């Protein structure tokens, strides 16, 4: 008699006849648990010796130079920093292949929320790596993909009308999908409203919407974008009035022609610019009155404010129609309301994310949600407070490094120290890009990895791993600041 297939996909002739999934027994295997526990114990043991920045080993410089040369050869351009990681670290501290250890305060532009070699994230990644496939997609996926989307949609729906979550493989692709959702809802309205200095990604379309001329050199301009002034804290109510006036003008000039107003509630690349609820509220109300979807781009801010979503911190959830997120979540996504749910065929894509990325993303999101990170007295708020205390004291001690700053319109800026949550900004040298770039390289050489943001003026930008960094660790960081600025 021929064998018959069981529910597990095997045949009754090759198993004991049970239809229980093989994965159940595999996932709970004591041998696997013991092996993972042994690996984590070894990680913790090795991490104990990484307690601060240290210089490179003399005999390892050639190794680093060799890797950098290979990188330049294959990419056709040199790396911005002489950075090639060894694959090991301890939270905010990362080891490079030359044996040096540095404070990583940029974290791949915000990707590594829990820094380097975090045992909890390593455990999640190891368990994810034991699954049947490396990558999951929109045609074939495992339960952790669904759990990831459910977690995001569930948290978002607590304070907004957002209901559905579509997972995709990059923040830029999430933005592409969000634009399509908005365009379909508005019957292919051809125009987009965005804030000046916004950054959307580096695809052909997103490079055109983003307000960075250098990112679209040689790219044909076929997307119609109407740019709005972002909030200026030195102008206060006048800044709000100006923005409302501009939006009314665009709506009057191009009636029913806007597919969306895309907003970074805290600008990332644009300069870590922040704005109060009072700035966004009348703009969102105008959009609602005129049938313009509000798209909240949280690809960089997601998870880093004192609430998981930036709109929660500002109490704007009722106005959000579409939201995009990524970076620290490991996998990226676009969320939308029931009213914005697109027709079949609009959203798809081969890849969602790797199975390990889903495992780490789920672990990170749950830890951030349940671990005391959010709220006015949460870990993220305390880290921002410690940053401001150190930074403001530093500015007061060295006024010669912090001359007056003017914005791109020539108006004075009074806020040398700024940012929100895990997004931190300092403006030395009047915002001069060349001097800030030289400073960044001195910081790197001395043991701190930072970056820049903004456009005339430019700023020093920090995205520390808020999942693991402690307020007191800013002490040794600012010692390196002192040395680097002096040099």
> What Å distances lie between residue 369 and 156, 323, 413, CA to CA?
12, 19, 35
With residue 410 as reference, give the H or E element that holds it: none
- Arithmetic mean of pLDDT, 142-159: 97
Domain positions in the chain: 30-104, 129-370
Q: What pLDDT score does 182 carry?
A: 98
90 within 8 A of 50, measured Cβ to Cβ: yes
* Two structure tokens written together for 214: 């250098």
Q: If pLDDT is split at 50, 70 and 90, which confidence band does 23 have? A: confident
For 46, other C-beta atoms within 10 Å of its C-beta total 13
Rounded to an integer, what distance in angstroms lies between the CA atom of residue 187 and that of residue 206?
20
- Arithmetic mean of pLDDT, 239-263: 98
Rounded to an integer, what distance in angstroms lies between the CA atom of residue 197 and that of residue 482?
30
Q: In the chain, pLDDT over 90 holds for what percent of residues?
A: 88
Q: What pLDDT score does 409 carry?
A: 74
Q: In the chain, pLDDT over 70 holds for what percent of residues?
A: 96
Least confident of 57-61, 83-87, 352-356, 361-365: 57-61
260 within 8 A of 295, measured Cβ to Cβ: yes
First and final C-alpha spacing in the chain = 84
Q: What pLDDT score does 41 carry?
A: 98
Q: If pLDDT is split at 50, 70 and 90, which confidence band does 18 have? A: low
- Arithmetic mean of pLDDT, 390-401: 98
> What Å distances lie between residue 65 and 59, 79, 131, 160, 450, CA to CA?
11, 11, 37, 50, 21
Q: What pLDDT score does 26 carry?
A: 75
Which is higher by pLDDT, 413 or 24? Answer: 413
Q: What pLDDT score does 17 carry?
A: 52
pLDDT tens, position by position, 199-237: 999 999 999 999 988 889 999 999 999 999 999 999 999
Residue 379 has pLDDT above 60, yes or no: yes
- Arithmetic mean of pLDDT, 270-295: 96
364 within 8 A of 353, measured Cβ to Cβ: no
CATH number of 129-370: 3.40.640.10
Q: What pLDDT score does 8 carry?
A: 39
- Arithmetic mean of pLDDT, 430-442: 97
State whether residue 329 is helix, strand or coil.
Answer: helix
Q: What pLDDT score does 10 carry?
A: 41
Q: What pLDDT score does 385 carry?
A: 97
> What Å distances lie between residue 152 and 164, 294, 467, CA to CA?
9, 19, 18
- Arithmetic mean of pLDDT, 299-318: 96
Residue 11 has pLDDT above 60, yes or no: no
Residue 4 has pLDDT above 80, yes or no: no
Mean pLDDT score of the chain:
93
Residue 456 has pLDDT above 50, yes or no: yes
390 phi and psi angles, rounded to 5 deg: -65, -45
Least confident of 5-9, 245-249, 325-329: 5-9
Residue 9 has pLDDT above 80, yes or no: no
This prediction has a pTM of 0.92
Rounded to an integer, what distance in angstroms lies between the CA atom of residue 323 and that of residue 237?
27
């Amino acid at each position: 008699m021929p064998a018959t297939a069981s529910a597990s996909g095997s045949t009754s002739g090759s198993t004991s006849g049970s239809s229980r999934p093989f994965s159940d027994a595999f996932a709970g295997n004591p041998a696997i648990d013991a092996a993972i526990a042994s690996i984590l114990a070894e990680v913790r043991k090795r991490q104990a010796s990484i307690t601060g920045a240290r210089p490179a080993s003399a005999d390892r410089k050639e190794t680093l130079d060799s890797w950098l040369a290979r990188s330049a050869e294959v990419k056709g351009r040199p790396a911005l920093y002489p950075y090639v990681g060894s694959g090991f670290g301890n939270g905010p501290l990362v080891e490079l292949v030359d044996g040096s250890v540095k404070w990583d305060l940029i974290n791949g532009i915000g990707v590594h929320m829990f820094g380097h070699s975090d045992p909890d994230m390593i455990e999640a990644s190891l368990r994810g790596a034991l699954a049947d496939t490396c990558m999951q997609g929109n045609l074939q996926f495992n339960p952790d993909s669904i759990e990831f989307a459910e977690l995001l949609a569930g948290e978002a729906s607590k304070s907004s009308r957002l209901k559905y979550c579509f997972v995709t493989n990059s923040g830029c692709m999430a933005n592409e999908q969000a634009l399509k959702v908005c365009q379909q809802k508005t019957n292919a309205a051809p125009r987009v409203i965005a804030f000046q200095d916004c950054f959307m990604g580096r695809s052909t379309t997103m490079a055109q919407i983003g307000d960075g001329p250098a990112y679209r050199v040689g790219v044909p301009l076929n997307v119609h974008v109407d740019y709005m002034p972002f909030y200026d804290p030195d102008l206060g109510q006048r800044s709000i009035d100006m923005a409302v006036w501009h939006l009314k003008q665009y709506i009057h000039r191009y009636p029913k022609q806007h597919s969306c107003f895309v907003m970074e509630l805290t600008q990332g690349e644009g300069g870590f610019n922040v704005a109060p609820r009072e700035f966004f509220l009348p703009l969102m109300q105008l959009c609602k009155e005129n049938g313009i979807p509000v798209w909240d781009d949280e690809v960089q801010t997601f998870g880093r404010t004192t609430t998981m979503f930036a709109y929660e911190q500002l109490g704007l959830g009722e106005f959000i129609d579409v939201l995009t997120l990524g970076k620290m979540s490991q996998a990226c996504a676009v969320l939308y309301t029931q009213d914005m749910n697109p027709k079949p065929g609009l959203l798809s894509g081969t890849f969602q994310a790797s199975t390990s990325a889903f495992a780490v993303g789920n672990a990170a999101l749950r830890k951030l949600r349940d671990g005391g990170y959010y709220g006015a007295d949460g870990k993220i708020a305390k880290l921002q407070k410690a940053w401001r205390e150190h930074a403001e004291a530093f500015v007061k001690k060295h006024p010669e490094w912090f001359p007056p700053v003017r914005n791109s319109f020539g108006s004075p800026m009074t806020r040398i120290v700024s940012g929100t949550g895990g997004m931190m900004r300092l403006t030395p040298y009047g915002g001069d890009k060349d001097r800030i770039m030289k400073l960044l390289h001195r910081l790197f050489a001395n043991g701190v990895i930072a970056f820049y943001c903004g456009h005339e003026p430019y700023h020093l930008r920090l995205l520390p791993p808020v999942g693991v960094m402690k307020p007191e660790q800013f002490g040794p960081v600012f010692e390196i600041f002192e040395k680097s600025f002096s040099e």
